[in-house]
A and B are shown apart, each in its own frame.
Chain A
Amino acid sequence: MTPKQIRLAAIGGGLAFLALAAGIALTALEDNIVFFRSPSELAAKPAVIGEAVRIGGLVREGSVQRGGLRADFAVTDLAHDINVSYEGMLPDLFREGQGVVAEGRFDASGRFIADTVLAKHDETYMPPEVAEALEKSGKLNAPHPGKDAR
């Protein structure tokens, strides 16, 4: 092969490879996107049953019930609530009144079955999604029910 042919072959091969890689990446991206919905958004427009969703808000005070390995709690943006079930160990920073983000699916009864629960931040930190959800529901600075002012 002449140098020119080699170069053409290399460029052609490279482009074909990039197209293939881009194809794989974009398909994977399309299949694996998870949307974030706040409790109010879900109240207005419920999610499709069985579709992966990410929700977030505060763990409502007094809502946490543990039975065996399972924990039930409500996630709220102080306008609307979502009932969540999670089987497994809750993260260390999970607490009533704290911001959480959960990923999972709604079942037919409207209960959110979480695969993962994230509460990885310290007491003063709130996940941005949660802060925004609270802001939208207009309750960001409202005193938290059942929580005395510190």
Chain B
Amino acid sequence: MIAELGHFVLVLALVVAAVQAIAPIYLARTAPDIALSIARRASYLQFILILLAFAALSYGFVRSDFSLAVVFANSHVAKPLIYKIAGVWGNHEGSMLLWVLIVAAYGAAYARFTDTKDSFAARVLIVQGWLGVAFLAFLLFTSNPFARLLPAPFSGQGLTPILQDPALAAHPPLLYAGYVGFSMAYAFALAALTGADDGGNWARRMRPWILTAWIFLTLGIALGSYWAYYELGWGGFWFWDPVENASLMPWLAGTALLHSALVAEKRDTLKKWTLLLAIITFALSLSGTFLVRSGVLTSVHAFANDPERGLFILAILGGFSLAGFVLYGLRLPRLAADKPFQPVSREGLLLVNNIFLATATVTVFLGTIYPLVLDALGMGKISVGAPYFNAVFAPLTIPFALLLPLGPLLNWRAGSVKPLQNRLLLAAGAAALVTCGIVLSRGAASVMVVALFAAALWLLFGAGLDLAQRLAPYRSRLIKFWTLPANAFSAPLAHAGLAVMLLGILAATQWRAEIVVAAALNQQINIAGISLRYDGLREIDGPNYRAEQARLTYLTGRHQGTHIFPERRFYEAERAQTTEAAITTDMTGHLYAVVGETSGDKRVLRLWYHPYVAFIWLGALLMALGGSFALVTRLGRA
């Protein structure tokens, strides 16, 4: 009964979304106030209705109502409550319901918080209404989460065990909040294109929304990477898997958009590019989710492949992208010309930033799409893996990181490097010194690696310079840090985050140590200056699995005497097995231990030392924190 209600409110939500999408168009000219008021109320109502549907599906999962097809296929009675709830979006239908919920949430949030009273706001909500219509239709017609199974089975098939994990429970909502957030960029771009030129005012209005989306996407991707690191059993943090690339592309484009929107807002230039970028970013966000769902890409993320869904998805993706591009093409001649500007200035450097990020987006696109194109043309099945992306990203990162610190240090309009000379030399000297230290202590590496280290350090010190310059006016009250303006920390933190992430990637990939042993009882194992003893194995019972748990004891160092327990788990309901690595953090990195198969009377153990690997996610957190500071400043001002 609850499920039928859920289905019913979803249908109602579709009707409301249609009203939101169509009614204000007719009223926009004659009665703009009424148009906005209708659009507003419709977006609140749409959100509430979808929230009810979501609650109904969650209820089905929590109560293990196996008469619902998705619950049967993705849940099990013997599953901890948190994973029953996470199971709601651990499948195609439920995750699409989450997607429409977030679309509606953004629309309702905009309706609630915007200070715009003119027709611009109505146009934004119209676009959001169309998005609601498209995705609700997709959900109801091809992926109904409330489909019943009759007769109801007694037991469910369970959720794939590797997905039963707290990080992965949070990964899809964060990622979707990011992807969908960029729909606001799209809606703003379309609203700006259909209205009169407002001198870049739309860019100011758009910024908090794209900041929000960008923060979520950053966290979502980082969480996915962290999950892969500890769950997949060997400590890889990025695989250049097509689906990861599909999330990286909107992130790169969205990062470019954040920066170009700043130029559009402050300097009333680069507007045409920013509008195009907003449309592209959302198109990439859509492909991020939907190439995955359509089954075109092969990956862990592919749910059931269904040609009907694939077509519907491509229609949505194509429809919205095409509408955006056509409107852009038609309106472009009517837009006011961008003002010219000096290359050596903050806006000049922000343009350089955009060129690099756009190039990075295109190279990822090329590597991801090329195998699909070849396959479609029947020219063979190929895969483009990490070597390609590394070969392209390494040389691209160096000039990017070298130029980046200049941007925030230069003034708008006509900047000059001269007054900065001494400080820049100081940062360069410090970076060179630390790089020398690294090379001397860690031994020779390739020229590319040394250059990357130097560039990342320069970027880090450059962010420090930026922070110092921003805080200079507040020198007298640095102690009372809570009174400092939040905005002073935003760019320096985000840029330092990138530097920290680069350093983490370099250290973890360059200095990784690995050992595989078939260990006898009490055998000593040495890795990266750490000695451990293998103490044997025991069987344990978890809530919905059995596990073989090995014990190792630290023989040396700060952790001397402590035990670590890598596990292999067997999930009865899902008939699957997972590896649970034991990860120990110390000052310089992670010891990562995994237990493998038996080999005679011995046991295969695999150990890694991942130096400074946590810097990768710490960097992502710093970026998100920087973004949050910028967002707080915005909201405070509004």
Seen from chain A, the residues whose Cβ lies within 8 Å of a Cβ on chain B are 3, 6-7, 9-10, 14, 17-18, 21, 24-25, 27-29, 31-36, 54, 66-69, 87-93, 103, 120-123, 125, 127-129, 132
Contact = CB atoms under 8 A, between A and B. Distances in A.
6 contacts: A9-B343, A18-B359, A89-B516, A91-B233, A93-B576, A122-B574
Interface string B395-426: 11000000000000000000000000000000
A63 to B, nearest CB: 16
B391 A24 contact: yes
Given A66-B599, A92-B576, A6 B384 contact: no
A10 B347 CA distance: 13
Contact of A28 (B162, B340, B383, B392): B392
Nearest to A56: B381
B385 interface: yes
B575 interface: yes
Nearest to A70: B599
A89 B355 contact: no
A21 to B, nearest CB: 5
B576 A122 contact: yes
B384 A29 contact: yes
B518 interface: yes
B597 interface: yes
A133 B340 CA distance: 57
| Size category, B interface | 35 or more
B396 A21 contact: yes
B242 interface: no
Contacts of B370: 29
Contact of A21 (B234, B359, B380, B604): B359
Given A34-B385, A68-B518, 17 more contacts: A3-B340, A6-B340, A6-B342, A9-B343, A21-B392, A24-B391, A24-B395, A25-B363, A29-B366, A29-B367, A32-B384, A32-B391, A34-B384, A88-B516, A92-B162, A92-B577, A122-B574
Given A89-B234, A129-B298, A14 B576 contact: no
B572 to A, nearest CB: 13
Nearest to A9: B343
A14 B518 CA distance: 56
A67 B298 CA distance: 32
B297 to A, nearest CB: 10
Contacts of B259: none
B388 A28 contact: yes
B160 interface: yes
A128 B298 contact: yes
B355 A14 contact: yes
Contacts of B396: 21, 24
B594 interface: yes
Q: Which 9 A-B pairs have the closest CB atoms?
A: A36-B381, A28-B391, A32-B388, A32-B387, A3-B340, A21-B359, A89-B596, A25-B363, A92-B577
B381 A35 contact: yes
B635 interface: no
B385 A32 contact: yes
A24 B392 contact: yes
Contacts of B233: 89, 91-92
A69 B384 contact: no
Interface string B90-113: 000000000000000000000000
Nearest to B395: A24
